[in-house]
Amino acid sequence: MSLNSQLEDAHWFDRLDIIGDVHGCEQTLSRLLTQLGYQKEQGAFRHPERIAVFVGDIIDRGPRIREALQLVRAMVEAGSARMILGNHEIHALCYCTPHPSAAGNYLRPHTPRNTQVIADTLAQFAAYPDEWQDHLRWLRTLPLYLDFGAYRVVHACWDDAVISARRSTQLSAEELNAMADPACPDARAIKRLTSGFEVALPEHCPMFSAEGYRRRSFRAKFWVDNPATLADLEFQPDALPPEVAQLPVDTALRSQLVVYDSHQPPLFVGHYWLSGKPSAVANNVACLDYSAVRFGRLVAYRTDGSGLIKPQNFAWVYVDP
Ligand SMILES: [Mn+2]
């Protein structure tokens, strides 16, 4: 079946291979695609009957970021894949885009921490500045989420309030510039989709990460109906201290909850550094980020038209240290 006839097929979205955070692990990605039946033809991996969907975070951290981005872009341009933006692509766009009014500055300030996040990517593109600028222009054309009707894909959190207010799946120039002020509504909306739903930690209960910096918030589940305590919302990354976990979900927090309810279509995200055997986190939500770049697994979910998330439809390759 040719790609064109595939796209005209009303059920082509029943044959998606949705792939988690790649983070520069290009050789691992090639192995996964080969295992899934994709073959490189005319410069791009293609499958005779299926389309790959990347959940974002192709760049940063890994050993072959340039090659990973080239591989994914070639597939998208050949029509054999789609890709949405992850928080790392958003970070790259903000880090590399000059501030519209503050000369010499960028939408995201070049602090040590912001620089650290993108350092591997910039180092690997150091000899190819024009190519990097071209990739940035291309990234700006990509969607923030995909709604196939029967399936949905977003990097970190499907928030109906944010998505229903949007006019486009893509990031507009105004929205990108708005990212200069992280507190503004547009910036918070983009952050919600690409970085997830975060719950602030109470001031009197400090929590510290493994690296020793103080956490102001934790990444929370966005599919829990009627949570009683913070423990019911806790998703990532560290276990909450017991005195925090047992705190009730108060009225203020209750009014801010994001609830992807169990009647909505199966949703696929990346972002959360999971480990262990890939499986769904709710009956209609699956995270496909199993920490490939930290020697975990690079994971795909293969849709089959059932409208369900089935354990046997997860596929993966291990990453060798
Ligand atoms: Mn990621």
All structural domains of the chain, each given as residue ranges with its CATH number in brackets, are 3-197+258-318 (3.60.21.10)
Amino acid type, 49:
E
| R_g (Cα) of the chain, nearest Å | 19
3-state helix, strand, coil in the chain (%, to 5): 35, 20, 45
Per-residue confidence (pLDDT) for residue 4, from 0 to 100? 54
Distance 106 CA to ligand 1 centre (A): 22
Give me the mean pLDDT over the 130-144 stretch: 98
Distance 5 CA to ligand 1 centre (A): 33
- How far is the C-alpha of 206 from the C-alpha of 201, rounded, in Å? 7
Distance 295 CA to ligand 1 centre (A): 14
The pLDDT tens digits for 161-184 are 999 999 999 999 999 999 999 999
Distance 264 CA to ligand 1 centre (A): 24
- How far is the C-alpha of 86 from the C-alpha of 287, rounded, in Å? 13
Helix (H) or strand (E) holding 215: strand 214-215
Least reliable range by pLDDT among 127-141, 144-158, 197-211, 239-253: 197-211
Q: How far from chain centre, in Å, is Cα 11?
A: 25
> Is residue 1 pLDDT above 50, yes or no?
no
- How far is the C-alpha of 286 from the C-alpha of 152, rounded, in Å? 11
- How far is the C-alpha of 107 from the C-alpha of 94, rounded, in Å? 5
**Do the Cβ atoms of 61 and 293 come closer than 8 Å?**
yes
Distance 88 CA to ligand 1 centre (A): 7
Distance 292 CA to ligand 1 centre (A): 9
Distance 194 CA to ligand 1 centre (A): 10
To the nearest 10°, report the CA torsion of 142, 70, 76, 108: -10
For residue 237, name the pLDDT band (cuts at 50, 70, 90).
low
- How far is the C-alpha of 195 from the C-alpha of 246, rounded, in Å? 25
Distance 271 CA to ligand 1 centre (A): 4
Helix (H) or strand (E) holding 46: strand 44-46
Distance 55 CA to ligand 1 centre (A): 9
**Do the Cβ atoms of 321 and 294 come closer than 8 Å?**
no
